[in-house]
Structure 1
Amino acid sequence: MSSTRPPVMSDVAALAGVSHQTVSRVLNDHPSVRPATRRRVLDAVAALGYRPNLAARALVTRRSGTIGVLSSGSALFGPTSTLIAIENAARELGLFVSLATLPAWSSDDVASVLEHFMTEGVDGVVVLAAHDDAVEAVRSFASPVPVVMVGPMALPAPLRSVAVDHYAGARQAVRHLLDLGHRDVLHLAGPTDWLDARRRIEGWHDELAAAGIESREPSTGDWSADRGYAVGRELVAGGPPTAVFAANDQLALGLLRAFWEADLRVPDDVSVVGFDDVDGSAHFVPPLTTVRQDFGRLGERCLQVLLETIAGGTPPGSELIPTSLVVRGSTGAPRA
């Protein structure tokens, strides 16, 4: 266990040599645990100085201890990492997750899933809302249990939201390029029906505007490396800008390939910034400067806000998780 953080349930489980579920049963005085196992867990709790989260304890002892999670089932890095972070945070709190995925978010489909969650007795629901239709579908359902949405902001009560600050992250990326001396910064954007993509477009545009620079029209489309490669080839043919801010690292990867094939050197001829800090981005050629999302913190806060609401608290209606800029070898000053 790291000395920089308080002990969590997984630390107790590891020291006692039992599962998360067994630790949870001991802490909640479940009768099915053998006396020797109970003693081993309690000894580990005492040795580590573990203090259970009070809101989580209240949830587990008075309710089902299960939360529903609704997602699109997307295999993209952001949604997948968010889902994993929420599941990890739930496990640390001794909670169970009932997962449902919807490729399309009609009001009827969302209502059907949420009603199914209710029959399972979930104590609250986390919704990974990537698109406007997801937000509207959830808003139209009168949920009898608390709902926290990941992505949208400024939701009407009683809905609450937690999101990565994509807007500020985009501004960080563009500010870095401006500080290097770039004045022609193209944005290779994601699909505009994605909430995250729109926030990144707004951040790119506003940071350029704050510097008195008129922005080009962003290039919008899907999130894939194939699209990044195709746009990169178009830029090579038409004359590339001095810098490109890509809405995710896969788009940036495609750009890097297109520029390499055209003998354009990154960052000497053109700088590239991504968004996500995916595994392996430090080993792109060159290593990619990118905006890192704190998915671990996102998952923790989603669960904390949900539990606080279930316990009768009134956490903020919306909360933003900060990003950080990771500067590597794909950005530099433009040619004089």
Structure 2
Amino acid sequence: IVPEDTTTFFGDPFFAAIVAGITGALGGSDYLLNLLIASNDPGNKMTSFIRNGGVDGALIVSHHTSDAFIDQIADAVPVVFGGRPAAVGDNDYVVDIDNVAGGRTATAHLVQAGHSRIAAINGPRTMLAAADRAQGFHATLADAGLVAFAEAEGDYTEASGAAAMRQILTVGRPDAVFVASDLMARGALTVLNAAGIRVPEDVALIGFDDSPIALTTTPLLTTVRQPMYAQGEEMANVLLARLAGGTPPQTTILSTELVVRESA
């Protein structure tokens, strides 16, 4: 289950990697993957389908704090969350990325390179992964005796990254920007290029994901690699274990890694 609209789902390579990982793990099982994409659940159609026996279990990715229908699904079938939900219950199973560490690693790289006017383009505040990346950003700045030069929020789309970068430039020109996704970073890069601001000579830029997007930009994007395929694979493995009556770990945290290319 992906609580997003179809434009977001098909436009972001994050979801393709997650689905590939899930499909790989399910390949040797008797289960088939049903992909349900819905930014909300008008008429409770999806919820009714699940609660009436349409599926044996659910994998939920990219959920928001406002997705109230998820509680009704979790009450009906075994669920594994990709990323922690707003409130983790005693029976919730979560496969998450260490987003705080990812935000810390990216920001530390910028600080160690001598940057001090560091801005951030954060993901949507309704998603805990975005809040965790921002937490890592702020904590690392505080450790260095710095505060954010400016911040703006996007929704993980390229257009929102461009809009956020334009908003930051109304404050002034930072010397580095940490962006919470590669797609938003590409949007930010487009705005910087249009303004005649060179990357990385004038402004260093770091994304998050290490999706194929990072290899389409000029310069190539320095980014935080999150193991998207492995997350999907582990989510499916945890659900399969639950369906088989096993006792998998309730929380699995996967590590991130900084991939240094040309933009920072």
TM-score by length of 2: 0.86
Q: Tell me if structure 2 keeps the 8 A contact 1:107–1:138.
A: no
Within 1, Cα distance between the matches of 2:45 and 2:92? 19
Within 2, Cα distance between the matches of 1:279 and 1:222? 19
Question: What is the DSSP-based 3-state SS (H/G/I as helix, E as strand, rest coil) of the residue aligned with 1:301?
Answer: helix
Q: Displacement, 1:198?
A: 1.8
Q: Tell me if structure 1 keeps the 8 A contact 2:93–2:250.
A: yes
Aligned CA distance change for structure 1 residues 225 and 111 (closer, same or farther; 3 Å): closer
Higher relative contact order (CA 8 A, sep 6+): 2
Q: Displacement, 1:272?
A: 0.3
1:139 to 37, 50, 71: 71
Within 1, Cα distance between the matches of 2:237 and 2:74? 22
Question: What is the DSSP-based 3-state SS (H/G/I as helix, E as strand, rest coil) of the residue aligned with 1:100?
Answer: coil
RMSD: 2.4
Aligned CA distance change for structure 1 residues 215 and 234 (closer, same or farther; 3 Å): closer
Q: Does 1:79 align with 2:11?
A: no
Aligned to 1:89: 25
Within 2, Cα distance between the matches of 1:129 and 1:225? 17
Within 2, Cα distance between the matches of 1:317 and 1:92? 23
Question: What is the DSSP-based 3-state SS (H/G/I as helix, E as strand, rest coil) of the residue aligned with 1:240?
Answer: coil
Which segments of 5 or more consecutive residues in structure 1 lack a partner in the other structure?
1-69, 332-336
After superposition, give the CA deviation of every residue in 1:271-300 in whole Å (9 maximum; x if it has no partner). 000111221422411111011121221122
1:113 to 46, 49, 57: 49
Amino acid at match of 2:114: G
Within 2, Cα distance between the matches of 1:304 and 1:183? 43
Q: Displacement, 1:202?
A: 1.6
Aligned to 1:39: none
Question: What is the DSSP-based 3-state SS (H/G/I as helix, E as strand, rest coil) of the residue aligned with 2:153?
Answer: coil
Identify the range of structure 1 (98-107 vs 289-298) with the bigger mean alpha-carbon deviation. Answer: 98-107
Q: Displacement, 1:242?
A: 0.9
Within 2, Cα distance between the matches of 1:99 and 1:282? 28
Which segments of 5 or more consecutive residues in structure 2 lack a partner in the other structure?
none
Q: Does 1:326 align with 2:251?
A: no
Q: Does 1:268 align with 2:204?
A: no
Larger Rg: 1
Within 2, Cα distance between the matches of 1:198 and 1:299? 21
- Counterparts of 1:93-242 in structure 2, within 5 Å, are 93=29, 95-105=31-41, 108-109=44-45, 111-116=47-52, 118=53, 120=54, 122-134=55-67, 136-141=68-73, 143-152=75-84, 155-216=88-149, 218-236=151-169, 238-242=171-175
Amino acid at match of 1:230: A
Paired residues, number: 258
Aligned CA distance change for structure 1 residues 141 and 229 (closer, same or farther; 3 Å): closer
Identity of aligned residues (%): 33
Amino acid at match of 2:18: T
